[in-house]
């Protein structure tokens, strides 16, 4: 059997498929399992997974419609099963799966705008459930393909190499951070597509939080983020204005993850690095505004969620439409009125435990 995992969304989504991937391999030990990715971070995560035979990488966004169409035709009828990683709910992904032409095309039937996004092109489906985690949705999808119920719910998988571990050791040596010092990671960024930048806690609040953690616990603060978040990281670093705060700059996700592994606590927006932190089994504080926490809470790691739990929340569900806020008093109140004291007091509890 040849199976293709269509993982065209982001890093977090790819990580949240890895438990289902393990169960897929357990059920089909002799299957050739490939993955299709268009982001380098996703390629890196899946390339190091022992259950994947080959990662096919193609930048559909850069190559355009005609070249993308021709590339997909090259894959046509090469696979028996294709699986759209949840929550890949865009019509483009369903079209891609249809063009690839596997006999079994598996995906989740979405509660919102499924028909307009051509969900009917898939022929092995489960119904979306707002009470389930993304990991659980992916597992249920594999159960439907396998016609078998699994009792296992594996952890996220992100193995690191010796070279990456050594890279992290050299980072801490260079910054003179010793093994006995308390290290806290910050990720002040998140995705920006479809207005998701509104999910970010303000950078000045991260700065204020960093100051308090340094003052009261002599913590070392490491500020993480992708290459597109350099200015954001700089803003937080300038706001903290302390020799105990460091901006982490690496060439790839794996090197960042290796440094993250040393963190005693990781404080983050709803982002891909939140899921990386979960894969590393870190203590996580997740700052979450409009998103349904059932979907994306840190999976199988010790965590606390900071949320105002407003009556209008969650308002962000999986849908192609951009993130919007219907409140008349304060737009995106769910994130804007989350105070530094709320996050600090939660961090304090983690540190004292």
Tens digit of each residue's pLDDT (9 = 90 or more) over 122-168: 999 999 999 999 999 999 999 999 999 999 999 999 999 999 999 99
Q: Which residues contact 70 (CB under 8 A, 6 or more apart)?
A: none
User: pLDDT digits over 77-112, tens only?
Assistant: 999 999 999 998 789 999 999 999 999 999 999 998
Structure confidence by residue, pLDDT tens digits, 295-348: 999 999 999 999 999 999 998 877 777 899 999 999 999 999 999 999 999 999
Instruction: Please give the Cα distance from 45 to 55 (Å, whole number).
Output: 10
Indicate the pLDDT class of residue 113, thresholds 50, 70 and 90. Answer: confident
With a cut of 90, say whether residue 353 has pLDDT above it: no
Token couple for 5:
């995992």
| pLDDT given at position 126 | 97
What single string gives the DSSP state of each residue in 75-113?
TTT--SEEEE-TT--SHHHHHHHHHHT-SEEEEEEPSSS
CA distances from 100 to 81, 259, 341 (A): 10, 38, 51
Which pLDDT score is estimated for 270?
94
Give residue 194's pLDDT. Answer: 85
Across the beta sheet with 32-37, the strand order is: 54-57, 32-37, 2-7, 81-84, 104-109, 124-127
What is residue 90's predicted lDDT score, i.e. its pLDDT? 85
pLDDT band, residue 19 (cuts 50/70/90): very high
Mean pLDDT of 239-266: 97
Where helices occur in the chain by DSSP H, the ranges are 11-15, 18-27, 40-47, 60-74, 91-100, 134-146, 162-174, 203-217, 230-240, 253-260, 272-279, 293-296, 333-336, 340-352
Per-residue pLDDT at 335: 95
Tokens of 147: 């016609």
Query: How far apart are alpha carbons 159 and 280 in whole angstroms?
Result: 9
The mean pLDDT value for 279-285 works out to: 98
Query: 256 is written with which tokens?
Result: 């960042």
Q: CA-to-CA distance for 196 and 323, rounded, in angstroms?
A: 6
With pLDDT > 70 as the criterion, what percentage of the chain qualifies?
A: 100
Query: Among 45-54, 218-227, 322-331, which is the least confidently predicted range?
Result: 322-331
CA distance 273 to 117: 28
What is the rounded CA–CA span in Å between residue 297 and residue 27? 27
Tokens 């399992």 -> residue: 33
What's residue 88's pLDDT? Answer: 82
Asked if 224 and 260 count as a contact pair (C-beta separation under 8 A), the reply is: yes
Structure tokens belonging to residue 118: 């051509």
Query: pLDDT grade, residue 71 (50/70/90)?
Result: very high
Beta bridge partners of 84: 6
Its pTM stands at 0.95
Residue 191 pLDDT grade (very low, low, confident, very high; cuts 50, 70, 90):
confident
pLDDT value of residue 89:
73
Average pLDDT over every residue of 20-40: 97
- Output the pLDDT for position 32: 98
Q: How confident is the model at residue 352 (pLDDT cuts 50, 70, 90)?
A: confident
pLDDT of residue 47: 96
């Amino acid at each position: 059997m040849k199976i293709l995992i269509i993982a065209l969304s982001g890093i977090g989504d790819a990580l949240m498929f890895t438990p289902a991937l393990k169960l897929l391999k357990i059920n089909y030990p002799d299957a050739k399992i490939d993955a299709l990715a268009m982001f380098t971070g996703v390629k890196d995560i899946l390339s190091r997974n022992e259950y994947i035979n080959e990662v096919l990488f193609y930048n559909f966004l850069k190559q355009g419609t005609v070249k993308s169409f021709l590339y997909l035709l090259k894959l046509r009828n090469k696979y028996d099963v294709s699986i759209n990683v949840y929550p890949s709910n865009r019509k483009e992904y369903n079209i891609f799966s249809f063009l690839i032409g596997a006999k079994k095309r598996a995906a989740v039937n979405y509660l919102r705008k499924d028909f307009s996004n051509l969900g009917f092109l898939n022929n092995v489906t489960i119904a979306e459930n707002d009470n389930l985690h993304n990991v659980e949705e992916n597992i249920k999808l594999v159960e439907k393909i396998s016609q078998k119920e699994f009792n296992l719910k594996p952890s996220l998988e992100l193995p690191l190499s010796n070279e990456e571990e050594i890279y992290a050791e050299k980072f801490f040596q260079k910054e003179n951070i010793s093994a006995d010092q308390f290290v806290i990671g910050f990720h002040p960024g998140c995705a920006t597509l479809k207005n998701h930048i509104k999910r970010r806690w303000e950078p000045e609040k991260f700065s204020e939080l960093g100051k308090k953690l340094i003052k009261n616990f002599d913590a070392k603060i490491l500020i993480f983020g992708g290459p597109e978040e350099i200015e954001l990281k700089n803003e937080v670093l300038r706001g903290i204005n302390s020799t105990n705060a460091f901006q982490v700059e690496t060439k790839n996700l794996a090197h960042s993850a290796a440094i993250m592994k040393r963190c005693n606590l990781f404080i983050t927006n709803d982002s891909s690095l939140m899921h990386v932190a979960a894969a590393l089994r870190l203590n996580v504080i997740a700052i979450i505004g409009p998103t349904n926490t059932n979907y994306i809470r840190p999976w199988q790691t010790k965590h606390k969620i900071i949320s105002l739990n407003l009556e209008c929340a969650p308002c962000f569900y999986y849908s192609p439409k951009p993130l919007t806020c219907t409140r008349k008093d304060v737009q995106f109140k769910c994130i804007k009125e989350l105070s530094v004291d709320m996050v600090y007091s939660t961090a304090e509890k983690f540190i004292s435990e």
